[in-house]
Amino acid sequence: TNYQLEDQAHWFNQSQVDRFNEIATKKTGNPSIAREAGRYTNSSKALGPLKEYALGFMTPGAAFWMLERIAPHMTRASKYKTKKVGYHTVEVVSIPNPGVEEKPYQCHNRMGMLESLPRFFTKKFAKIEHPTCLHEGKDFCRYIISWEEIPSFMLRRLRNVLIVLGLIANAALYFLTPPLFWAGFVFFFSAVMLGIVFYSEDREKNDLIKNIETQHGTSKLLLDEINIRYNDAFLIKDIGQTISKLLDVNKLLHSIMETLDKYLEFDRGGIWLANTDRTRLVFRAGYGFDSKMIDFLNNSDFHLDNPHSKGMAVQSFKQQKPFLVNDIDQIEKDLSKNSLELLKQTGTQSFICVPIVYESEAQGILLVDNLQSKRSLGQSDMSFLMGIAPQVATSIHNALSYQRLQESQKTEKSLRKLFEKYVPAPVIKRYVDSEEIDLFHGVGSSITIFFLDIRGFTSHTEMMDPKEVVSFLNIYFEKCSQVISEEKGHINKYTGDGFLAIFGAPEPLAQNTVWAFNAARRILDLSKRFILGGKQMKIGIGLHTGRAILGNIGSKTKIEYTAIGDTINTAARLEEFTKRFDGFPIVMSEDAWKSLIPHPLHSSITSLGNQKIRGKKEKLEIFGFNLSGTFTIAPNQIDNGFMPLQRIKGV
């Protein structure tokens, strides 16, 4: 492209050079165009800095001597070796780099350039011989170059010779001629020599002035290049620091724009990203725009779902190719009406648009523009932005991934909290940590079952509003749930006006009966603060310690984590005895009673005798606890058991 041709830092590959030579030869009809083009190297804009660099050596010999260092800045196809073979003659050898296959026209072009190098100094082409050629079966091309001497150097040499001859002549005439003749000769010789010296010095001074002017231009270019490289380096550094610190997409994009504004010479810049369904390119951040223009851009998306869209932004996104435009008028006919209107509204004169691509998927575009025509934008500008774009793409991807991760974690946390209402938290943690997929296997464990029921709840709530009933139960169960959790248990299921809690599973819990008993006493105490049917609410609690099977019970479409076995049934049956033994709101099995031996209140637990338990053949001794310490046992309550001796009067 023209932008590549005008860019002095851009390199063309072999196929591009071959194509260029083919078209140039065809258009001009001159088969020797490559040689003639090489002869005009000294006037080519493309070699401006190299030309000034060569002129800094003052003589063709010095320039050829430095050719080995200059050549890498002109070609990457071959390397050069030079050797001085005469006062005004050098030998130049060109050796192709590995993997390079030069064409004959490149050899001719090189001959033209070597011919033109002395012309920088002498204003005349050098004489060149080509005794060895790569295209004649040799391994290299060898050239013999000779040139005429520079006028100022020729005058200096003539001056030096005349001075020596004049001094010799003056010494000889001093002895051979009369004094008057000798004095006249000395005066004449001095005048001639003085004129020659002045003239040669003037020529040499003019050459030096030209050289200084040339070096001044070169110095300015070097200083500009240093500033550009400095800004580019700091731009890369700042962007790197930005993307390593920021994970919020909006903050990241605005920080990148601030960095580009600080170091690049563009009037404005912006980033457009694809929306969620990838149907629009949406403006996300920019610099150099006033508030009105930002409002305009926020309401002017690029349509990705329009197959007829011809805008550069859309094409860059879809084709994942950069675009460079130095004059909007040149592409006006290729734009859609909407795209042209957008450019007119924004006042863009020239712009570069590069895609933001991550792992072969376009995420958006980076666009920079100028409001006024400044220097022509070149391939280097576009290449530099193409180098920045992947960093931007990676940072955007990381930020979006982090954002999605945060949202996923938030969702997971919400789901986990919701799930914990149905499944104990330790069970969830176990499955998540172990990535266990077999949900239907069970485990046996020694646990304590806590079974609670509200006395007379159905009869007391028959006349209540359903909403009030539900609200009452939720408030009460919330208080109970808090106590159960604090005592290291969990409510496994609600049974209308009661619930079943488990202590010791799914995580093992030492002295789980003690924890369950403590929870029972606390719930018994807090239940006194609830009024039901105009009276203090009464509850019954059954405790039983034993082995049970725990696991997920149900089908693949609906499961429930619970405990099954005789231990659960026994706890439920024990709770029924709280109705018979009205003074004992907590009734427990012998196994539970034995497990409470270390408890300070163990002595306050009373044996209620051997009782027939529904569903069991043999009688079981049961025990009761009264929080107040006062109780009465009616005769009919011990028909199926024995009165404890310590409770018989006089014993």
Domain contains 192: yes
The answer to whether the pTM exceeds 0.75 is no
Task: Say if residue 380 is in the same domain as residue 525.
Answer: no
Task: Give Cα 261 to chain centroid, integer Å.
Answer: 20
Percent of the chain with pLDDT over 90: 24
What string of DSSP letters covers 558-570?
Answer: -EEEEEESHHHHH
Q: Taking 60 as the threshold, does the pLDDT of residue 84 lie above it?
A: yes
Q: What is the structure's pLDDT at 647?
A: 40
Is the CA virtual torsion 146, 152, 153, 157 positive or negative?
positive
Task: Say if residue 143 is in the same domain as residue 158.
Answer: no
For residue 47, name the pLDDT band (cuts at 50, 70, 90).
low
Q: What is the structure's pLDDT at 309?
A: 76
Q: What is the structure's pLDDT at 521?
A: 95
In tens, the pLDDT along 113-143 reads: 888 877 777 778 888 898 999 888 888 899 9
For the domain that residue 84 is a member of, what is the CATH number? 3.90.1520.10
Q: What is the structure's pLDDT at 224?
A: 59
Provide mean pLDDT across the span 24-30. Answer: 85
The count of domains in the chain is: 4
Tokens of 443: 């485990």
For the domain that residue 631 is a member of, what is the CATH number? 3.30.70.1230
Q: What is the structure's pLDDT at 398?
A: 84
User: Which has more pLDDT, 598 or 433?
Assistant: 598
Domain contains 607: yes
b/e sequence 468-502, b meaning 16+ C-beta within 10 Å: ebeebbeebbebbbebbeebbbbbbeeeebbbbbb
Domain contains 565: yes
3-state secondary structure of 169: helix
| 3-state SS string for 268-328 | EEEEEEECCCCCEEEEEEEECCCHHHHHHHHCCCEECCCCCCCCHHHHHHHHCCCEEECCH
Q: What is the structure's pLDDT at 630?
A: 45
Query: What is the spatial distance between Cα 286 and Cα 421, in angstroms, rounded to a whole number?
Result: 47
Task: Say if residue 289 is in the same domain as residue 392.
Answer: yes
Q: Give, rounded to a whole angstrom, the gap between the first and last alpha carbons of the chain.
A: 116
Domain contains 409: no
Contact 130, 142 (CB under 8 A): yes
Domain contains 422: no
Percent of the chain with pLDDT over 70: 79
Task: Say if residue 145 is in the same domain as residue 168.
Answer: no
**CA 430, 436, 437 angle in degrees (round to 5)?**
135
In tens, the pLDDT along 286-311 reads: 999 888 889 888 888 888 888 777 78
Provide mean pLDDT across the span 15-23. Answer: 84
Length of the chain: 651
The residue range of the domain holding 624 is 436-647
Task: Say if residue 492 is in the same domain as residue 637.
Answer: yes
CB atoms within 10 A of CB 389: 21
Task: Say if residue 60 is in the same domain as residue 111.
Answer: yes
Q: What is the structure's pLDDT at 498?
A: 94
Q: What is the structure's pLDDT at 631?
A: 44
Task: Say if residue 140 is in the same domain as residue 215.
Answer: no
**Is 136 exposed, middle or buried (CB count within 10 Å of its CB: 0-12, 13-18, 19+)?**
exposed
For residue 638, name the pLDDT band (cuts at 50, 70, 90).
very low
Q: Which of 104, 133, 149 is the last residue of a domain?
A: 149
For residue 461, name the pLDDT band (cuts at 50, 70, 90).
confident
Q: Which of 194, 229, 264 is the last residue of a domain?
A: 229
Query: What is the spatial distance between Cα 379 and Cα 28, in angstroms, rounded to a whole number?
Result: 27
Q: What is the structure's pLDDT at 26?
A: 86
Query: What is the spatial distance between Cα 60 and Cα 116, in angstroms, rounded to a whole number?
Result: 10
Domain contains 410: no
The pairing of beta strand 361-370 with beta strand 350-358: antiparallel
User: Which DSSP state fits 547?
Assistant: E
Q: What is the structure's pLDDT at 454?
A: 94
Side-chain half-sphere CA neighbours of 87 within 13 A:
5
The pairing of beta strand 586-589 with beta strand 539-554: parallel
Task: Say if residue 273 is in the same domain as residue 297.
Answer: yes
Tokens of 321: 């190719």
Q: Taking 70 as the threshold, does the pLDDT of residue 371 lie above it?
A: yes
Q: What is the structure's pLDDT at 451?
A: 96
**Is 298 exposed, middle or buried (CB count within 10 Å of its CB: 0-12, 13-18, 19+)?**
exposed
Most confident of 73-77, 454-458, 477-481: 477-481
User: Which DSSP state fits 138?
Assistant: -
Domain contains 10: yes
Largest CA-CA distance found in the chain, in angstroms, rounded: 175
Tokens of 115: 């011919």
For the domain that residue 378 is a member of, what is the CATH number? 3.30.450.40
**CA 602, 608, 611 angle in degrees (round to 5)?**
130
The pairing of beta strand 89-96 with beta strand 127-132: unpaired
Task: Say if residue 392 is in the same domain as residue 253.
Answer: yes
In tens, the pLDDT along 573-585 reads: 999 999 999 889 9
Give 54's contacts (C-beta < 8 A, 6+ positions apart): 63, 66, 70, 117, 120
Domain contains 119: yes
In tens, the pLDDT along 226-267 reads: 666 666 666 677 777 766 677 788 888 888 888 888 888 888
Q: Which of 122, 149, 176 is the last residue of a domain?
A: 149
Task: Say if residue 158 is in the same domain as residue 267.
Answer: no
Most confident of 76-85, 114-123, 157-166, 538-547: 538-547
Task: Say if residue 472 is in the same domain as residue 392.
Answer: no
User: Which has more pLDDT, 431 or 581?
Assistant: 581
Task: Say if residue 64 is in the same domain as residue 107.
Answer: yes
Q: What is the structure's pLDDT at 245?
A: 72
